[in-house]
Structure 1
Amino acid sequence: MSTDNQASVLITYFRTLSDLFYVLHMLMKFRMAFVAPSSRVFGRGELVMDPHEIAMKYLKTDFIIDLTATLPLPQIVIWYVIPATKTNGTGHADNTLALIVLIQYVPRLFVIFPLNQRIIKTTGFIAKTAWAGAAYNLLLYMLASHVLGASWYLASIGRQHSCWDQESAP
């Protein structure tokens, strides 16, 4: 088994592009006004628009989860950690990559599903037609199954590689 550098560059490019959307989401949250909890009465309340208060509320609530979802951990692992571990002779690079990708997708799920609930709460529905709603839910399902399937595949390839190393050892 070997690493395809051309595919690694392409994957890194698209992964970094998707990470930029999370960075933009974080920047928007630093400027997004909120309703003060102390002024909420029957669905109405005072809108807090002070940038300092918005930033402090965001830093106290969702900032850590958003930051961990935005960090380029798989890119760092692919380009720095795996080459360093392969030169030392260890065979745990694929398991490490699968674990880091899985660990990073947990905070991303904490970002995606509350956003989905906020869309439903604000509008009352996801889409105007049943087909569009079904397509949206299918997209969420495909994202979750893709993460689980990719992690399973990386773990199985790592196990197969370690079995081959064990059998080829004298």
Structure 2
Amino acid sequence: MKWTAVALMCSIVHLASVNCQCDLGNKVDYDPKMVEGSRYLVYSSPDIFDELSKIQIEFTLEEGAYFSIRNITFKNVTEARVFNSSWKINSDKDIDAVTPEIPKFNAVYRLLSKETRAILIFKSCPAAYDETPLIFVLTEEQCPKKETVEHALADVGLDITNFSKDPAVDCRN
């Protein structure tokens, strides 16, 4: 009976496009307004910068707890492109993200750290079972101090050596 309930729950979750196997990490309580503003994705778990670079996300809190996303540049394109995306804060304060043009971003995201507004760390639970969860380090400045990022990641049990840095951003630190 117990196994049937678990299988049924995973089937329902699968239909909702969320991976049952995903561990989003510890939940933190936060005010969605603290996420507002422009952020640069400078560090990430591997592979995100294979296709994208100079990622800037503008979080604008709109009615219904939606954030907008903009200014993502592909490596082989010289100018930024704006993508339609729906990032909605759900009842658990996780973010349900749907970005039709970049399926890799389609996931449920959880804010792992709110120590500072300057650095936000999000972990994804990908919609596709075969995708690896992404971890994004979003910063207010395009060239944050490496030590500051290392400290923020260490606070949530992550090591920066497992992360890629956007090769299109020439920060010298």
TM norm structure 2: 0.27
Structure ranking higher in strand proportion: 2
Q: Identify, as 1 or 2, the structure richer in helix.
A: 1
TM-score w.r.t. length of structure 1: 0.27
Larger Rg: 1
